[in-house]
Structure 1
Amino acid sequence: MIRVLIIDDEPLARLILTEYLTAHVDMTVVGEYSDGFEGAKAIQEHKPDLVFLDIQMPKLTGFEMLEILDEVPHIIFTTAFEEFALKAFEKSAVDYLLKPIPQDRFEQALKKFRQLHATQSATPLIESLKSEIDKETLERIVVKNGTQIKLIPIQQIYYLEAYDDYVKIHCAEGMFLKNKTMASFEKQLDPKQFVRVHRSFIVRVDQLAKIEPMEKESFRGILRNGEKVNISKSGYTRLKQVIGL
């Protein structure tokens, strides 16, 4: 039996998807959820084969939800906004459905899923998806703090610090770990606000209070909260370009 989850904040969309699925006796809907927080928990609990996932949801978007999952099933995105649907399709989703969802289009998406489910793991698709997500400009960062999911607005970040396979996010509420590379953050963060000042540090420029010279053409940045970050020669050059020195 193929296990299906529906994660969509619109009750009508969930109802339509459920009705369409009743014609497929080898599929069972193991849950319906209206937001990404509950949806993420449900995926971890039920381990579905297929998820119908809305892109634009309150609290947590579909893309943000995928970032915090350890294992991701096949995904068919649903959306009312065509520009998001096209972007989702380009991001190697199983398929996308544009609301209101016609039944013939739904059947096409299921046919594509069945072909992939029989021959291919969802992992390559999701890795490709995450790679594409890394090209999007960040407005906030989603992290897991134990069993809790936290959203950190970019405006609250002081600096980022490399930490093995993780990145430490230093912000107003403390420090949080994100399983992501510094290079990914460097691509996604606004270069006018954040500068890679060292291989181990990305700093929000307006948090720098002072820059002190150190040995061998290196520097040290003192932040407004008193914390210190290393600044390399090349990082100092990039920093000067941004602040206009």
Structure 2
Amino acid sequence: MKQELKALIVEDEELARNLLKSYLKGHPSLTLIGECENGFIGVQKINELKPDLVFLDIQMPKITGFEMLELLEHKPEIIFTTAYDQYALKAFDYNAIDYLLKPFSKDRLLKAIDKVLERIGNNENSQEKLEQLSAYAVNEYLQRIVVKDRHKITIIPIENVRYLESLDDYVLIYTDEGRHMKQKTMKYFESHLSPSDFIRIHRSYIVRVDYIDEIQQYEKESYMVILKDKTKLKVSKTGYKKIKEVLHF
């Protein structure tokens, strides 16, 4: 039985969208159900229309393709369309997720689609690979965190983050404006936040260094930090050692 896939384009350049549409026209296994010019609209349309396959640009205004992936409730197959550097392309190869390096030919596009059709036909799940790729592709420390609360997407500059708290499978992010929740691990943030700016003081807390106001001992070998907003957080032995190293005392 022939597979019929619903496809969506998320790409900020109109010329690139038009090229993709011309290449896809008449494809026997694909029905194009929409196009989006940025990641904000992309998140909404993917969760609403539930496409089987998305052609996704990486470098877009507002939010990147990787940031968009983190916000999706519906998880489609992804073919990246990118002008990304070779470092990231190794990550694609490693995770067996296909990409189209701009400028690409129609033949290259059709091969990528065939790859997706084969993966779906073999009932392979790409979601774990996509999550690994999202983390692997960030080869610099985070400059911002993107969170989604119902229909609202918020971009948090990293300098606005006060501290992070572990909550089961989520992380609570405390900022100057309030609190946000994101489905990521503390381990992810520990490795993607600059260690000169953030310290994991406890298994449950990562704190911005310059937001620490005071360190107090409340029992033998037990400490807590008091933040500038007077929040009190427990410090583990390992966390206390890290604080001493970073603050040089």
TM range (shorter): over 0.9
**2:50 aligned residue:** 47
Q: 9, 13, 21: which one pairs with 1:10?
A: 13
Asked if 1:107 is matched to 2:105, the reply is no
**1:83 aligned residue:** 86
**Can you give the 5+ residue segments of structure 2 that lack an aligned partner in the other structure?**
none
> Sequence identity, in percent?
48
Cα distance per residue 1:174-205 (max 9 Å; x no partner):
11111111111111110011001111111100
**1:69 aligned residue:** 72
Asked if 1:121 is matched to 2:145, the reply is no
Alignment partner of 2:62: what SS? Answer: coil
- Partners of 1:46 and 1:242 lie apart in 2 by 48
Q: 221, 228, 236: which one pairs with 1:224?
A: 228
**2:204 aligned residue:** 200
Alignment of 1:97-176 (within 5 A): 97-119=100-122, 120-132=124-136, 137-176=141-180
- C-alpha contact (below 8 Å) 1:53/1:75 kept by paired residues: yes
What CA RMSD, in Å, does the superposition of the two structures yield over aligned residues?
1.8
Per-residue deviation, 1:157 = 0.4
TM-score relative to the length of structure 2: 0.92
Amino acid at match of 2:215: I
Amino acid at match of 2:152: Q
**1:241 aligned residue:** 245
When residues 129 and 85 of structure 1 are mapped into structure 2, their CA distance, relative to the original with a 3 A threshold, is: closer
**1:213 aligned residue:** 217
Q: Structure 1 stretch 127-136 or stretch 163-172: which is displaced more?
A: 127-136
- Partners of 2:157 and 2:216 lie apart in 1 by 29
Task: Give the total of aligned pairs.
Answer: 245
Moved segments of 4+, more than 3 Å: 81-85, 133-136
Per-residue deviation, 1:87 = 4.8
Cα distance per residue 1:94-144 (max 9 Å; x no partner):
311111221221122112112112112333432433453577521111111
- C-alpha contact (below 8 Å) 1:94/1:112 kept by paired residues: no
**Can you give the 5+ residue segments of structure 1 that lack an aligned partner in the other structure?**
none
- C-alpha contact (below 8 Å) 2:161/2:176 kept by paired residues: yes
TM-score relative to the length of structure 1: 0.93
